[in-house]
Structures are given as C-alpha cells and as structure tokens.
C-alpha cells in the first residue's frame, strides 16, 4: 500500500477547529471516535443504533464533551445527518483499513496531538474510565491503556503522536491487527481495570445489542 506523507488541510474535514482541549506534558489531547466500520453483521449503520434512547455516536460524543475533549469523528460519509453532534468530522482516507486507518487519518491531520480514542459501538463505556486514563497518562509512554484478564484493551486508550510512524509502517505492510500494533509499541502504560468489565463490551450484531439492553 502507498500512503500519502500527509493529509492536506481541510480535505474531508467538517466543523474543523484548531482550539486546544486537554493538555498533557505540554501536548494536546483530543477525543477521537472511531465510526468507520461497515456494520455488515449488524445489518445497518450501528453507529446510529440506539441504547437507552440515545444513538451510539451521540453517547460517545457526550462522554468526550463532558471531559472537555472536543470530539473528532473519523469514519465514512453517512446518509444520516450527524451535524447535531457538533463534532469535527474526518473521512477515512484509507478505506477498509479498520481502527488503525482511522487513527492514522486523525494523526496525519492533527499533528503533535495525542488522542483519547474510543469506538462508537461500546455504549457501556463510562466517564470514570476515561477520566482515569487522562489522570494516569504520561506522554513519555506511547499509549495508556487498560487490561482485563491479562489482555490489553485497545479501546478506550490514549495514543501519542509518536506512534504515527509505526502506524504508517503497519498500514504499508498490510498489517491491520490492532493487537499486533499494540504489541509493537515499545513503551506503554497498561493498567489493570478493577471495575465492571462489561464497559468494554462492543456491539457487532443486533443480538449483542439485545443482550446489553437486558443487562441489569
């Protein structure tokens, strides 16, 4: 795969703002929502599916806004109007490249910016978990992440701009595995999550959503 060395300013961006958000060690941290999947197993755009009366995308954006992390949404063009979210929107420049392609798109546009990255299909994700990541993050680490049952969770996580080169290499090699990418990060802060592990549940099918709704 041939990747562009950069993404031109203003290309595929809507609602762009250069205002800073949270800072860490002198660097900017922004919220990033991944919403570029095809939702083939769900049968519709699952980013706009409802959980307790709120669309997944709106729920994720609200979490980041409450932490003063003006959300950036990375995904594909949608038929549904999402302007009500009032989020900066980036269209995937590398189609069908999964989460690594989305993170690459954001890092290539927003230079020297770290991202607290969430996936839109995790409606049980809590503000407390994101706050804890922000509190414990140190930019000396390439990433700050949670682990459960001895397995690193890629979402939510804070990813530093120093990872752009590694992202580029993986994409050029056709390696789209997020876990392989995490294994390659030379220095990361991984914290064992002590709370309810259901916050990491993601929705891939309508049955997944039905099971979440039934949870007490």
Whether residue 203 contacts residue 56, with contact meaning beta carbons closer than 8 Å, is answered with yes
149-179: burial string, b at 16+ Cβ within 10 Å, e else = eeebbbbbbbbbbbbbeebbebbeeeebebe
Question: Once rounded to an integer, what is the mean pLDDT over residues 117-144?
Answer: 96
pLDDT one-digit tens code per residue, 157-172: 999 999 999 999 999 9
How many CB atoms within 10 Å of residue 24?
A: 16
Q: What is the pLDDT of residue 4?
A: 53
Q: Which domains, from first to last, does the chain contain?
A: 13-214 (3.90.550.10)
C-alpha–C-alpha distance, residues 142 and 137, integer Å? 10
Q: What is the pLDDT of residue 8?
A: 41
Question: Once rounded to an integer, what is the mean pLDDT over residues 68-94?
Answer: 84
pLDDT at 191 over 70: yes
Read off the pLDDT band of 19 (50, 70, 90).
very low
Question: Once rounded to an integer, what is the mean pLDDT over residues 61-71?
Answer: 94
């Amino acid at each position: 795969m041939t990747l562009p060395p950069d993404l031109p300013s203003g290309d595929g961006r809507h609602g762009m703002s250069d205002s800073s958000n949270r800072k860490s060690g002198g660097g900017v941290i922004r919220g990033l929502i991944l919403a570029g999947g095809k939702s083939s197993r769900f049968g519709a755009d699952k980013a706009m599916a409802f959980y307790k009366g709120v669309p997944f995308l709106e729920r994720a954006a609200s979490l980041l806004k409450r932490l003063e992390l003006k959300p950036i949404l990375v995904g594909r063009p949608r038929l549904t109007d999402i302007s009500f979210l009032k989020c900066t929107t980036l269209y995937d420049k590398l189609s069908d490249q999964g989460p690594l392609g989305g993170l690459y798109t954001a890092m290539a546009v927003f230079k020297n910016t770290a991202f607290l990255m969430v996936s839109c299909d995790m409606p049980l994700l809590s503000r407390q978990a994101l706050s804890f990541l922000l509190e414990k993050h140190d930019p000396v680490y390439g990433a700050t992440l949670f682990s459960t049952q001895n397995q690193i969770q890629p979402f939510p996580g804070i990813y530093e701009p120093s990872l752009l080169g590694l992202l580029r290499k993986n994409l050029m090699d056709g390696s789209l595995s997020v876990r392989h990418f995490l294994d390659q990060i030379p220095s990361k802060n991984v914290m064992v999550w002590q709370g309810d592990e259901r916050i990491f549940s993601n929705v891939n099918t309508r049955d997944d959503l039905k099971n979440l709704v039934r949870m007490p």
